[in-house]
Structure 1
């Protein structure tokens, strides 16, 4: 099945956040429910507005994966856990590289599936930070093509 990439309107932000929360809960086992609750309003009210959002929907029109990019960098890429393994992340990343000139991403070091995904796509680790952008103790790997 060929996945259709669509832009995301602000009205879809709650659905985007629901996909984010499901994905993070399934893949970021280093985050506590309190961490997720901390980030959720930031995602909804600040982070989504700071990126160019693209998504893929299922046959019923529900968002099953999305990506946010800014200045040639993937800032977020999340797939609903029920839709993982279907090539959605690969499709979104390929689009970002081909159409948007993306060549960088920061990844949580504690999310080995994501690190492996980007390594497989040709990214290499160029630096490491012991904390995330908010100073929380979640190491970040900066990766570039």
Structure 2
């Protein structure tokens, strides 16, 4: 990841971001049917990502991961499956922690590696809720700057 840099995403990045979201979502959420992710690709491209403040980690033209914020909510953090385990998620999360005093997010309870990741990064579970679209239990987690 030499010469990789975090930068704000632009419209030209959206196709790559949707592909990273799609690939990583299927891998991390194998308890949700693949069709769910397929049917949401267009909404991710045209609605969710454009409505977010997005930062990505890129090396030249290749994007390896991104984090999307909506105010103080981490709406998404995804790392390309080929780049996972290299600290990219940590770099992205640390980047936005410098910009906010408080962050919150929702993560599927069955996505145990991500739950553990967020706990390790200082997020604490504050509640559980059911995601209406998938029927899966989500954890609401919060972080506060010390």
SS at match of 2:12: helix
Q: Structure 2: 5+ residue runs without aligned partners?
A: none
- C-alpha change, 1:8 and 1:116, in structure 2 (3 Å) is same
Distance 2:142 2:102 in 1: 9
Partner of 1:139: 137
Tell me by how many angstroms 1:126 deviates: 0.1
Partner of 1:70: 70
Q: Is contact 2:5–2:58 with CA below 8 Å preserved after alignment?
A: yes
Which has a greater percent of strand? 2
Alignment of 1:34-45 (within 5 A): 34-45=35-46
Taking structure 2 as the reference length, what is the TM-score of the superposition?
Answer: 0.90
SS at match of 1:78: strand
Q: Is contact 1:16–1:66 with CA below 8 Å preserved after alignment?
A: yes
Which has a greater percent of helix? 1
Alignment of 1:22-61 (within 5 A): 22-58=23-59, 60-61=60-61
Q: Is contact 1:74–1:102 with CA below 8 Å preserved after alignment?
A: no
Which deviations, in whole Å up to 9, do the C-alpha atoms of 1:91-143 show, x marking residues without a partner?
1101111123342111111211111110000111000102x2x4430211100
SS at match of 1:136: coil
Alignment of 1:123-138 (within 5 A): 123-130=123-130, 132=131, 134-138=132-136
CA RMSD of aligned residues (A): 1.5
Distance 1:52 1:92 in 2: 13
Tell me by how many angstroms 1:10 deviates: 1.0
